Chains A and B, each alone.
Chain A
């Protein structure tokens, strides 16, 4: 395998009453080794469930109905969707880790930080002694720049601030040297000055440990700051994918263009903000043609009839649009 993670034709569905509803439609993604990969999109576009599917964390009634997720693990290639519970647990936290949006709710309030860190280590290294685990926890806390690590180990989550908790989440996620870190909106619940600290920390750790990071966010600024490769999700599909510089300088898809214009017109010369008309369609209630058609200014009859394919518009730059001339309309 060339890449660390290969997602093919991933389709995720849920049940609404007796009806099966699609939430993710045939998504292909390759996450290279030692890469920071960004997934950007608005709520309900399928970005978080893609990450959850990788670790087998989809809550019922969500399920993967088709596709494959292949992962190049330390001991050979694995098809993650076919692992049994025990095999999956070995991957989760050991090979692939995840950090979640809200550090305040993802740690257990009734255990100390030490206990929660030790659990992560001893699960994957049952023979590790207590002293060894403590030493490792302390070292990890120092790596994520926690002041007074000894004192922090003895603390309960409610005694720590949001920024500190997110550092601890990162420390737990990285304590077994995973090769892939899935970060689902890791800074959304944090203030900007704390966000800057956490993003810098994640970048540093990636450099030190050769870990690949998948950064899932709705914030194009976070993507521009931290990622090398970006996929833009809309209504359960990838609509555009490219290198970060290419994506921001030669934006091809009208949706990505709209998102960028909406954020960059803030503070710009004109008082009136650029807006994408309409609303994000809720899961499963998608148009049969291009899913962005009724919000798109360049929509044609063909867009309403036919679903455009994800095609290369320039080398390694994919876009799902019939009108992908490449440049923003003047």
Chain B
């Protein structure tokens, strides 16, 4: 997948996002929530890269920090070779034409007082100088792509079902023809039978518009289906990184192994054999020393408690951050 000859569209280097915890009348900073801790990965043109992990692992924060919807604390993000954090607000605003965001909940991300026409033409008005006729043409073209008809332009979000609303959100993100989009849990708020429709649509559009995408999700089945590479996150760090099929077939990190085994199987005769993790995810305001996973890991040793393992190549193109990486011992 990742031939060295192909240029990287997006390159994230040592991204770090801390949120200050403020206390008292003077709003004194008493600590930091370590939401994202040293995350590095890259996305190639037309590639779907997934970030997967449980709630609070920092996957959404990573996505929003890349687009500078929140300012990263440290690290660098390169998009088409340009460092994004050095851009001024105006330059960043122009860049956002090429980098868009699809939000999780279509019920709250669409303005209820704007009809479909306004919702879809707004991004074009912001980024391009088009005549009314050109606007109309672009909007109608986009509507066709998402499987809706021009007679629905006058309707408001509440007149649509959840699946249709998510189609509109997707259209709104893609109407400026970006080359890169971050989709944050785009199907989690939808019913099972609707999820499949939206995933098909996203894959079609991704092909047709030659999009690169960061797909953020907690649903391991969805991630396996849609992405070509994946990063598994835990407590703000990437634990395992590689081609999706490789990571799913040969997970080397004990956390990935537990996560994959916890997915319920759809065959009552072959129930999956769970590796049940003890306890909860530690508080990101006071992360454990050493490996972030050591408090719940069955392979934990003294080394894990003291030293944070670096992401190292355990198989070609497959990176794992674990001192004891490998298949679980029987």
Contact = CB atoms under 8 A, between A and B. Distances in A.
Interface of A: 42-43, 147, 161-164, 191-197, 199-200, 218-222, 224-225, 244-245, 248-249, 258-260, 262-268, 271-277, 279-280
B193 A258 contact: yes
A58 B263 CA distance: 33
List the 8 shortest-distance A-B pairs measured between CB atoms, nearest first: A221-B264, A191-B54, A196-B262, A266-B221, A267-B224, A42-B191, A273-B196, A275-B196
A107 B274 CA distance: 29
B262 A193 contact: yes
Contacts of B269: 245, 248-249
A224 B259 contact: no
B193 to A, nearest CB: 4
Contact of B221 (A162, A163, A191, A263): A263
Nearest to A270: B225
21 contacts: A43-B191, A147-B279, A162-B55, A163-B280, A191-B218, A192-B263, A193-B54, A196-B276, A219-B264, A221-B263, A221-B266, A245-B269, A262-B193, A266-B221, A267-B225, A267-B248, A271-B203, A273-B200, A279-B161, A280-B161, A280-B194
A275 to B, nearest CB: 4
Given A191-B54, A225-B265, A200 B193 contact: no
Contacts of A42: 191-193
Interface residues of B, number: 41
Interface in B285-300: none
Given A161-B280, A194-B280, A225-B265, A272 B225 contact: no
Contacts of B281: 161
B102 to A, nearest CB: 18
Contact of A224 (B54, B161, B266): B266
A192 B218 contact: yes
A200 B276 contact: yes
Contacts of B200: 272-273, 275
B262 A192 contact: yes
Nearest to A279: B161
A226 B163 CA distance: 29
A57 B265 CA distance: 33
Contacts of B220: 192
B161 A221 contact: no
